[in-house]
Amino acid sequence: MKTIIIPTTTLAALTLGLAGCASADSDADSPAGTSNSASPTAEEHSATAPTEVEEAVSRLTVAHEGGVTVLELTEGTLEPIAELSVDGTFRANAGADGRYVYLADSEAGTVSILDAGAYGEPHGEHYHYYVAEPTFLDEQLSGANPVHVVGHDGQVAVFYDDSGAIDILDEASLATGTASVSQQATEHPHHGVAVALEGGAIWTEAAEGESLPASVRQADAAGETVVLHEDICPGLHGETSIGDVVYFGCNESVAVIDTADHTSTSIPYPADAGEGRIGSFYGTESVLAAPWDDDTIVLLDTTTEGFTFVDVDGTISTVSRGAHDEVLVLTTDGTLTVIDEDGDTLAQVVSIGEFELPEGHGGVRPSIAIVGTTVVISDPNASTLELIDGESWESAGTVTLDAAPTMLVATGGVADAGHDDHDHETEDHADDAHSDDDHADEDHGHEDHADEEHDGHDH
């Protein structure tokens, strides 16, 4: 394992230098090259010293073509506080501590880091809360096709599909003026995912030429293999973590890996469940939710290892978890269905207009984020954000945007709140950013990289 600890100004110069060299040498035969798109710039914004405030502040980063808009929850509505420009096409992902947002540009091969400017820090048995202007950091990670960005244990793991390389960033280092990045590598490039652990990491491994992995490797801080769970999960796609235990979606089961005692088991899908599979997870508590097929949600009780299947009245587009861990399911008729962990429907709300799912891989669809207790649903067709009270399930207003929203990431509150993955945003794959990274399903059971949920990352 290679670990780099350098001042942020040095890293900025190094990143720009590497990007320049790569763009000069890159072509279709060089998957490791980065594009020559410019780094993000903050228009009329500069970093300011944080100000301590009495209560946690919740913010929402809205990605759109050409940049991001950062809004703040004020008196029950969202008010824009910053506009920042970003070149290229990117996915927005929550980090591990509820402060940073990661913009992964697969084509450019870069991951830019936004300090959303609202966070909490522990102080004894309580927290101190701070706010600052949102700003992009000088740090910018680079590699061949960054797809999954997963926050866990105060660290962020970036998996580069086209090279099989992994960057693991210690988020605490960002606030100190240095960036500490550890680097790992898989045996073969594939569509994979990595999760940082205290004292190491866990990541997927695939056979040469295979797109989806079947094996999972755990390594220590020095990069030495602790255990290789070989062929435990054919068709591996989707992951989330509960404490030391990591769950992966497989073709015929859910793989369960205990990273503390280095053991692995599988939870088979019920024989009478019909055609379907878990390809993304939402939630980081004892009951996990996942799309099963076009119109069915499955709930997995990790304590009893029991499955509950819930049919929803419509075609599933987007899934997330509410402020009290309700399962939120948006269907293409614009209806938000709220389900409890027993599978009972608590509410149904017509939230946005009808829409069609995008064709192909990576299209834009509505996103869901939880800001405080407010459910925010993006409507790309109307360029609006619809707000729903997460207690009464009644409409709480509409925010009109200047551009069509592509993804949402909520930040703020206490440090390291919620899923270290982000995803309870996840996760996608949400750090109770409760965001819809995620991105987040491809064909409703698998991942759409343009809509990842940090709430249990889909990988």
Q: Is residue 443 part of a domain?
A: no
Residue span of the structural domain in which 282 resides: 2-412
Q: Is residue 83 part of a domain?
A: yes
Q: How confident is the prediction along the chain (459 residues), in pLDDT tens digits per residue? A: 554 543 443 333 333 333 333 333 333 333 333 333 344 443 333 457 899 999 999 999 999 999 999 999 999 899 999 999 999 999 999 999 899 999 999 999 999 999 999 999 888 889 999 999 999 998 899 999 999 999 999 999 999 999 999 999 999 999 887 889 999 999 999 999 999 999 999 999 999 999 999 999 999 988 999 999 999 999 999 999 999 999 999 999 999 999 999 999 999 999 999 999 999 999 989 999 999 999 999 999 999 999 999 999 999 999 999 999 999 999 999 999 999 999 999 999 999 999 999 986 668 999 999 999 999 999 999 999 999 999 999 999 999 999 999 999 999 966 444 333 333 333 333 333 333 443 333 333 334 433 344 345 454
Q: Is residue 437 part of a domain?
A: no
Q: Is residue 317 part of a domain?
A: yes
**CA 312 to CA 266: how far, in whole Å?**
27
Helix (H, G, I), strand (E, B) or coil at 19: helix
Q: Is residue 438 part of a domain?
A: no
Q: Which two structure tokens, joined as six digits, stand for 402?
A: 């200047």
Per the document, the length of the chain is 459
CATH number, position 208: 2.140.10.20
Q: Is residue 424 part of a domain?
A: no
**CA 279 to CA 242: how far, in whole Å?**
17
pLDDT at 363: 81
Question: Which residue type occupies 349?
Answer: V
C-alpha torsion sign, points 135, 140, 145, 150: negative
Beta bridge partners of 78: 73
Q: Which two structure tokens, joined as six digits, stand for 115?
A: 């300090």
Q: Is residue 275 part of a domain?
A: yes
Q: Is residue 120 part of a domain?
A: yes
Q: Within 10 A of 361 (CB to CB), how many other CB atoms are there? A: 12
Domain count, the chain: 1
Distances in whole angstroms, Cα of residue 284 to Cα of each of 28, 207, 226, 320, 429: 39, 29, 25, 11, 10
